[in-house]
Structure formats: structure tokens, C-alpha cells
Structure 1
Amino acid sequence: MKTIDIKRDSSALVLLYPIANILFSTLTGAEHYSTFTIMYVFAILLTCIWRNHCRVDVNFIIIGSVFLITMSVAYNKSGSILLQFFSFLLLLDAYHYKDYEETFKKNILESDKLIFRGICFYLAVLFYTVVFKDGIQTGWGTVVLYGPYSLSHILAYELLAILCLALFVYKIKMETKWLVLGAVLEVLIVLTCVRSAILSSAFVLIWLLHSFNLKRKFEYILLGGIVLGILAYFRVFDQVITKSLYAMGNGSITNGREWIVNSVSMIYEESSVFEKVFGSGYENLLRGNYRYLGTAIQGHNDLLTILISFGIVGVGLYTEELIRFIKGKGGIGCFLMLAVLVYYNGLFLYTSMVIGLIVVRIFFRECGSTRKKNNNGI
């Protein structure tokens, strides 16, 4: 079994992130999550540049840093969101290069036993937060799994990235323990009641199923039906059903997503030409939503949030970087999964998921590259 060397390999930082994040949040509190994750992203980027695992344009970093300082002063209190947006663009740019992806994939397969134990340790810490901390809280008329975080979405997206990692190894190794681990992770995602993550995880499972030959498809559908029946019997889905009914009772099953779209449209119409092109800051988005909706919330859609915060220029940078990242083998599945997160709740603000995007892509590429081979073996 190989041990991943953090000093030599930047991929180790990515694989260690869920453990580092849940430990840090459990020991220090949820309020430090954003600072920790942004620092962690830049640690990954610096290690990448230091070890030449990928190419990140130094001029882009310098220009971007000046841009961040300027926009932070101009927009007032939008600095942390600018950092998240900038780190999102840089991280996707780093993940884009094939050499980095191949090295990352190789290290996962050579260290699978270590990674399995690491995920089990992560789940043990999560269990600790449920028993001894406020890992389960009430929300949306039901009980929700939060872990040590302030939002159940953070935990759900983190679990989603780990699910892709577990199923990627299962696709290669075909060891039952990884499939069981994947099932546990899926149940935990359901218990967070984050419907965007649940729907995205469904695309992950469907894409995995689609990659197998007809005989295996039938076996997994039968097994999946039995598992769903057992989970329904133990009422695992009750919480997410209650949340949906609660939302419907408040007038919108989407928790007001359509109202947010209308609010953002009015905020954008009121903006000057300069603000439409370069944005008016995240704080302006919060103020506008408070004015029209009575609550200061984000756009719950990356395109809407970025349009107001960073303008058409920001939307262009975001779209271009995301398309470059997605395209290739398995691109359709990767697009469908990420589209749910981008459209329904937002992606770049949840750094836990952004760090894990490299795992998401290698999962879909592996399924896409082996689907034709397996189907030929029917």
C-alpha cells in the first residue's frame, strides 16, 4: 500500500480535505469554515505550482489579486465572496490539465486502502457530531443532518464528492466494500434533506448503472429496488418528503426559487450599464433581495448570483471555465449533475464541493470510457 506524500503530491491535499474540514469545524466551530476552506484552496494551488503538477498562469494570479483588492474596496464587504469566486476559477483551471488528472487518478488507485480508512474515519467524526454536538438540527418542519457545519448543504455537497470518490474506486476495483460505502454515503445525503444534492447523487448512480452491461444493469436495478424498499420501510425518506410538503405549504415547492429569479431580474434592471457589465457586488444582491423578498439571501443559482455580483464579465469567466472543465468523456453526465447544483442552489459558494470537483470529473470520465467496452461484452 502506497502512502501519499503531501510534500510531493498536491493531490494528497485534495483527498485529505474532507477529514481536515470536518475535524477543523468540529473542534473550532462552524463560523470559521469559509476562512479555512479558502486558505485550503490556495494551499492546493501553491502546491500545484510548486511541484509543477499543473500550469497556473502567474500573470493571471497577479492581475486577479489586484482585481480582488480593487473590487473589495469598491464593493464594500464583498471580499470573501470575491475570494471564493477567484479561487473557484483558479482551481478549475488547475484541474483542467490532463497530467494532473492522471496523477490524481493513479494516486487514488494506489492508495485505495488508506482512502477507505480515511472515509471511515470521516464518518466516525460525523457520528460523533451527531451524538455529542448539534449534528442533527430542526429545519423546514423536520429534523436535518448538519454535522458540524452551519448549513446542511455544506455537509451534503461534501458527501456528494466523497460518494463520487467511493464509486470511482468501486468501478475500477469492483470490491463490495466500496459499493456498501457508497450506499451509506447516499443515505447520509438523503438525511441532509438537500434536494439539489439528492438529485445530483441520483445522476451519479444512474451514470454508474449506465456504464455496465445489460446483465449487470438488471442485477443492480434489482438490488437497488430491494435497498429502496428497506429504506422506505425504515422511513429514511420521511424528512425530505416533509421538507417538500413544508415548502408547498408556504406557496413554493422550490422554496421560493422563482421569487428569487424575479427579484434578481428587478435588481439587474435597476443597475447602471457599468454595473451590468462588471457587477455591483454581492452585498448589493443581498440588499436587493431583502428589499424585494424581505430576506437578505443569495441568488441560489450561480448565474444569478454572479450576474449581480460580478456582471456579464463574471458570468462569461465562470461559464468558460466550467465548460472547459466538463467537456470530454463522460461530459454529459458531469454536466447534468453539476447543472442541478449550479441552477438549483449554487456551486461556487460551496468550496467543499469545488475542491472535490476533480473527483467528480474522473468518476464520470471513467464511467464514460468503460461504458462502450462493457456493452460490447453483453
Structure 2
Amino acid sequence: MLYLDHAATTPPRPEALAVMRSIGFGNPSGIHGVARKAKDLLEDARERAAGLIGARPGEIVFTGGGTEADNLAVVGSAVAANASVVTSAVEHDAVLESAAFLRRTGHRVEVIGVDRLGRVDPERVAAETAPGPSVVSIMAANNETGVVEPIGDIVEAVKSVSPGAIVHTDAVQIFASEPVDVDTLGVDLLTLAAHKFGGPKGVGLLYVRGGTELEPLIHGGGQEAGLRSGTQNVVGIAGMAAAMEAAAADRERFRADVGEARQRFETRLIDAIEGLEINAPLDGRLIQHSHIRIPGVRNDTVLIRLDREGVAASAGSACQSGAADVSHVLKAMGFAGTRARECLRFSFGWTTTPDDGDAAAAAVLAAIEGLG
């Protein structure tokens, strides 16, 4: 199997698996010894996770994944402040559907467009930000194309027109390959999902800058400082913290191997396929993403052929795979139906070797033979 769909999910890292296998079953809300041990593990994971993004432990809220964290960020902050919302047309569905829910409940929502390479203009975001209570949510890097957005510039532009605005970024895709520091970015809210960098599925976190008000979405026993009730998944949370540490320690090697693999992959395809397009700015995308268009070749046919040969790739977001409609990200970038259905996403990860780039290119060339 040649796995090239790391943007959908990446294999768990050994460090995460080892920690998860070693942890008991205690409920951290109890008062006896078993519960106290679970509580200690939970708070140790919180402290470690916080340190890896430049936050304080009390600013970390553990959730059931990236989607829940995005919902809590966007809906929770907008409801708490009775705020308007500004987001972009290329966001993850977790953000766009949260914004749609808020619109249905009476909040002003502005969804701004992007240029043909999927880039958000900071000044346009600022122009759409209301002077009153506002929530702005722009992703750090796109899950389909890998386009990296200028979050620091967006925060600066937004705060210049609305100092009290709350800025959220979905950083789910970026943590594996880029350092994340909440103060450098300047954001008030930030989302991570464990399974995107080698942790378990069903675990995520939301960074909440001190003083940022949120209305909880899940009510009950008041866990996670009252922002996310329900017994915490200590095993998964410990695995997430271990995966964060492993990913951070491995970034230099990751970038070298993945960068070499992608360079070999794209160079060979560009040389062999007339008119091949890379759907992202070459100097403004994640190193692990290669989103390409092969003119005259339908992506579904290519993916079926690749799968038969043991190669896993995708046409876009895992949350939309199998859907008949064209990706909303590609629509926002100006792709019509036929052109959008000629696009493929190859995403590399921590298990990728440089030679995988050559193998992937050979597989694609074999898969498109006789097509177009």
C-alpha cells in the first residue's frame, strides 16, 4: 500500500500508541486513587499540549475532535457575544456549517471569496468585519489544496478596525509540518485534531485565549472549565499529547523527506503530462500537499485505478469524498464542473519516504494511460 491521503488522516505514531496502551480506565472526575491518577494524566497532557503551541494549560479545552472544536469556537463565541461572523468560502465544512447555523438563528454572516489560488485577502476580511461584536474564522491552511493563509496579517488587519473582534483559526492541517504559536499568530481561538498528526481519532482541542467568552455547546457535569461537559477521554487525550510531542520533534526530518518526495512526484508529472496544473501558490502551500489538475482526465477514474494498484489518494476533503457535488473549495477558486473533476489531492505524511514520490508519480502515469 502506498498511502497518499495523510490530509484525511495519518497513521498513529508509535509514541501515541505506546502511551495509550499503558493507561488505565479511571474517570478523572472522581476522588479516589484510580480517579486521581486519571486526573493527573489528563492535566499532564493539557500542560504538554499547551506548551507546544505557546499557551497556558488553562487555555486548553479538550474536545471530541476538530469538528467539535470548530463548532465550539465559531458558535460558542458568536452566541456568547451576540456577534456577527466573517469567514471564507474555502473553510472546512465544520466552520461553514456553523456559520450557516448562526445565520439561521439571526446572526449576520459574511462569507468572503478567495483568488484563483485560494488565497484570502486580509484587507477584505477587515473590510467585512463589523465595528461591533465580531467573530472572524479563517483557516491556517486549507485541507484540500494546502494553501497557507496569512493569519498574522489577517489578525492585524481585523484588530485595526475592530479591536474587540475574536479571531479563530482552524490549524488542523498545519501542525504536522509547521510550528504553531498562538501569540505569534495573535489568534484568540485555535483548533487542532489529533488524528492529523499521528494521534487517535475522536480527540481534539480548542485553544481559548484568556478572557475570551464562549457559550458551551454540550451541557452536563461542567468538565473542561464548564466549556465541554462529559467525561474526558483520558486515553485519547494522552495519545494526542504524545503525538504532538513526536510530531514537533520530527518536523525537520518530516519536512526533508516529504519535501523531497513531493518534489520528485511533481517534477516527474510536470515533465510527462502536458498542461498539468498545481492548484496552489508554489511558495505558499503546505509541504505535504500536492493538489493537481490533469486536463481531460476524470479524477474518479484515476482514483479507482490507483486504488486497484494499492495507492490511496483522494479528490478532496475526506468529509466530502463520495459526494456527487464539486468541492466548494474548488468552486470558490473558480473551477467549473469539468475542470474541478480533473483535480486530485495527494498528501504526504510522517511515514512518507523520498522514494515514495517516484513511486507515486509512476502510479499516476500508469493510471492515466489511455485516458484523456
| TM-score range for the pair, normalised by the shorter chain length | under 0.3
Structure of higher RCO (CA pairs closer than 8 Å, 6+ residues apart): 2
Greater strand content: 2
TM-score, normalised with respect to structure 2: 0.25
TM-score, normalised with respect to structure 1: 0.25
